Amino acid sequence: MLQRFAQAYGIEYPMLSDVGSKVIREFGILNTNIPADHPMLYGIPFPGDYLISPDGVVRDKLFLSNYEHRPSASQISMRNGADAKANSVEITTDVLSATISLSTDRCFPGQEVGVGLVVRIKPDWHVYGEPLPKSYQSTAVQFEGPLVDEFSFEMPPAKSMLLKAVNETLPVYEGEIRATGKLGIKWSPPIPAKFLEPLGPPIEPGLHHLEGTFRFQACSDQLCQPPQTVRFKLPLKIEKGIPAPPKKSG
């Protein structure tokens, strides 16, 4: 069966038939979220990738707990410093500029892509981090819309600063901020729905636009601007799922 699969899709690299999930278990990546009595999925690994350098050394790995999601190669590349300006949006205000990027401009349903943020703050100004009193707005990125399944974002630690104008010590950012996150695209099930919980309508292939918000509040020693929310869109092409291999004739 594996040989027929490789021939159907033109796969030329070696493939492993892991009977009984022996290798999966030895690598410690057996998906323990799948019940042992599941008729189709038990024995599969956590979905993931290894990043291997030309000298054969594993440089990074990324495995996800949810079998409905798959990491993307672009996400791992972003984790290792690759630039993703091919799919980015620029936000400019009078006190800062920000670049919000996706690690790719195309993916399959169910893939997880990387999100990057670079904020450049003008001298003598700062924006806020966490934890913060409710009367202030911390710096944050958020995505929303029908494509978004899961989203998480991690800002770097902010430094505490005594703000003499308000006589408070608060977490702030100055200069340049770099942060990363991950965004899971909703999954369209390739297996019979009777084995799954209802997932809603499938994701249609084609060009979509992910909507998001960038929130911040900028202050100086003399002036504190009101909280700002800037809306943005990033294009993302959803690719067609890979069709099933042709049935063996005869």
DSSP of 84-120: -GGGEEEEE-SSEEEEEEES-SEE-TTEEEEEEEEEE
What end-to-end distance do the CA atoms of the chain give, in Å? 15
Cα–Cα distance measured from residue 4 to residue 248, given in angstroms and rounded to the nearest whole number: 8
Share of the chain above pLDDT 90, in %: 44
Highest mean pLDDT among 26-40, 83-97, 198-212, 224-238: 224-238
Q: At residue 125, does pLDDT exceed 70?
A: yes
Query: Would you identify the CATH topology of the domain 83-238?
Result: Immunoglobulin-like (2.60.40)
Average pLDDT over every residue of 112-125: 95
Separation between Cα atoms, residue 74 and residue 80, nearest integer Å: 10
Over residues 73-88, the mean pLDDT reads 78
pLDDT above 70: percentage of residues in the chain = 88
Domain ranges of the chain: 1-67, 83-238
User: Measuring CA to CA, how many Å separate 160 from each of 127, 129, 131?
Assistant: 12, 9, 10
Residue 139 CB-density burial (10 A; 0-12 exposed, 13-18 middle, 19+ buried): buried
Query: Is residue 123 within a helix (H) or strand (E), and if so which, with residue range?
Result: none
The answer, yes or no, to whether residue 200 has pLDDT greater than 70, is: no
Query: Dihedral sign, CA of 156, 160, 165, 166?
Result: positive
For residue 64, what are the CA distances in angstroms to 71, 72, 79, 183, 228?
Answer: 7, 11, 15, 12, 34
The closest alpha carbon to 139, from 113, 118, 163, belongs to 118
Three-state DSSP state, 34: coil
- List CB contacts of 38: < 8 A, sequence separation 6 or more: 195
Pairing between β-strand 126-128 and β-strand 168-173 as defined by DSSP bridges: antiparallel
- What is residue 25's predicted lDDT score, i.e. its pLDDT? 92
Beta strands in the chain (DSSP E): 48-52, 58-63, 70-71, 88-92, 96-102, 106-107, 111-121, 126-128, 140-144, 148-154, 159-163, 168-173, 176-185, 206-216, 218-219, 228-238
pLDDT in tens, 44-67: 888 888 888 889 888 888 887 776
Residue 166: the pLDDT is: 78
Mean of the per-residue pLDDT values of the chain: 86
Please enumerate in sequence order all residues whose Cβ is within 8 A of that of 8, keeping only pairs 6 or more positions apart, or say none.
245, 246
| pLDDT given for residue 188 in this prediction | 65
Confidence of residue 248 (pLDDT cuts 50, 70, 90): low
